[in-house]
Amino acid sequence: MQPIGQIPNFLEVFDRFIDGENEQSGNGFILDRILPICSEPIELLRAKLGDPKLKRRMFEKILGLAIQAGDNDALQIAIDLVEDAACDLEVELDRPLAAASQLLRRNARSGWKIVWPAIEFNTHFAEGLFEELARESYAGNGLSIIQNLREDQLADAYIWIRKDGVTAHNTFGVGVITPAVALSWFAYAVMDNLSNRGTIEAFQQIRRVQEALPGEQLELVSKAAQDLIRRNTWVPLSPSELLALPGPRNPSATRNGAVVERQHRESTLAVADAGTGHGNAKRKTGRPPEVQTEEIHQAWIDLGRPEILARICDRLARRFFANELADASPGSLAHKRLRERVRNAILRGERRSAT
């Protein structure tokens, strides 16, 4: 098959096709199918960028394809158009907006450096660009730009939208996607992405937004971002560091000695219970297990052999394990294990009596 670029009068036919598409729809549906198989049209496309008859969508399509193909001249055309909007309030905005959109798609972070001065200088350019990005993001096509911007760039965008965007309000609902609805959603998407970065820089930029926009309700967002940073940066202690932590005899060396001491005692008791299968491994009284079991069983009999409920076990535990209970908070693992020790002692006593 003859290469498409060698077909007689191909470029002439291609040129006429572009003109026809521009007049009819302005979409240029098959342009992105031609370039991968033939590089000759690049010069033609670049030349077309200077055609004043090109409609906005066709111009943006051709510009984007040329930039994707690595044409530096097309890239410079896009940069020049945006820079014109950054110094001339009277410039026609259709092509600068198309150029800005393509620069952000090519590389969001480097493109933002070119686009931001135009946003700050030209309010109409800024409104047009953010409304376009909002519509694309609302449809799910422009979220990649948000995801690829730096934290400070996201904060800049959010501050401008909320502070200077004349249509930026908390407007949600069903029906026609108006600029106000799309822009409000875009601001939400920007802040949502920023708060979920989980970086210190993101948290600092959220604080900057709060300072610039004191009326914004961002306290919960700021706290969630801070919590996410803690989760992302938390590193567990190594075994050697864990073993080096001060024990219960030196609670003053810890940030909260009382809590650490109690937790240490509870964990020690839990380990002792787990290792023996019953609660008699760690005792402050020093009585043999058989003697303590008989005493607990007899105390239960003296109560009239009531049903072995939690309150009964707790009552007997307070009598026989007062010291241990002093170190165990209600409902803690140590408290539950002491209750189980009482229950097991009663049941063992009953089995012995039966034999």
For the chain, helix (H) and strand (E) counts, in that order, are 19, 0
**pLDDT category of residue 152 using cuts at 50, 70 and 90:** very high
Length of the chain: 355
- 222 against 170, higher pLDDT: 222
Q: Work out the mean pLDDT of the chain and round it to a whole number.
A: 78
Can you give 3-28 as a three-state secondary structure string?
A: CHHHCCCHHHHHHHHHHHHHHHCCCC
Task: Please enumerate in sequence order all residues whose Cβ is within 8 A of that of 224, keeping only pairs 6 or more positions apart, or say none.
Answer: 195
Lowest mean pLDDT among 25-29, 116-120, 131-135, 291-295: 25-29
CA dist., res. 264 & res. 327, Å (int):
10
> Which among 25-39, 216-230, 311-325 has the top mean pLDDT?
216-230
CA dist., res. 32 & res. 58, Å (int):
12
pLDDT recorded at residue 289: 63
CA atoms within 13 A on the CB side of 193: 22
What is the rounded average pLDDT of the residues 139-144? 68
Q: Which amino acid is at 186?
A: F
6 pLDDT exceeds 60? no
In which region does residue 288 sit, left (phi positive, over 0), alpha (psi from -120 to 50) or beta (all else)?
beta
Are the beta carbons of 2 and 33 closer than 8 angstroms?
no
**pLDDT category of residue 132 using cuts at 50, 70 and 90:** confident
62 pLDDT exceeds 60? yes
CA dist., res. 187 & res. 166, Å (int):
13
- Of residues 184, 195, 114, 120, the one with CA closest to residue 151: 195
Token look-up 């307070």 returns 318
Render pLDDT for 26-43 as a digit per residue (tens, 0 to 9).
Answer: 666 667 666 655 556 677
Task: Please enumerate in sequence order all residues whose Cβ is within 8 A of that of 106, keeping only pairs 6 or more positions apart, or say none.
Answer: 67, 68, 75
CA dist., res. 231 & res. 226, Å (int):
9
What is the rounded average pLDDT of the residues 252-256? 46
pLDDT recorded at residue 237: 81
What is the rounded average pLDDT of the residues 173-199? 79
Render pLDDT for 71-126 as a digit per residue (tens, 0 to 9).
Answer: 899 999 999 999 999 998 888 999 999 999 999 999 999 999 999 999 999 999 99
Lowest mean pLDDT among 2-11, 76-85, 205-214: 2-11
- CA dihedral sign of residues 134, 135, 140, 144: negative
CA atoms within 13 A on the CB side of 16: 4
What is the rounded average pLDDT of the residues 209-223? 90
What is the rounded average pLDDT of the residues 235-239? 83
What is the rounded average pLDDT of the residues 317-322? 84
Percentage above 90 pLDDT, the chain: 25
Chain centroid to CA 97: 30
What is the rounded average pLDDT of the residues 330-334? 76
Are the beta carbons of 206 and 161 closer than 8 angstroms?
no
- CA dihedral sign of residues 206, 127, 50, 39: positive
Are the beta carbons of 131 and 183 closer than 8 angstroms?
yes
pLDDT recorded at residue 252: 47
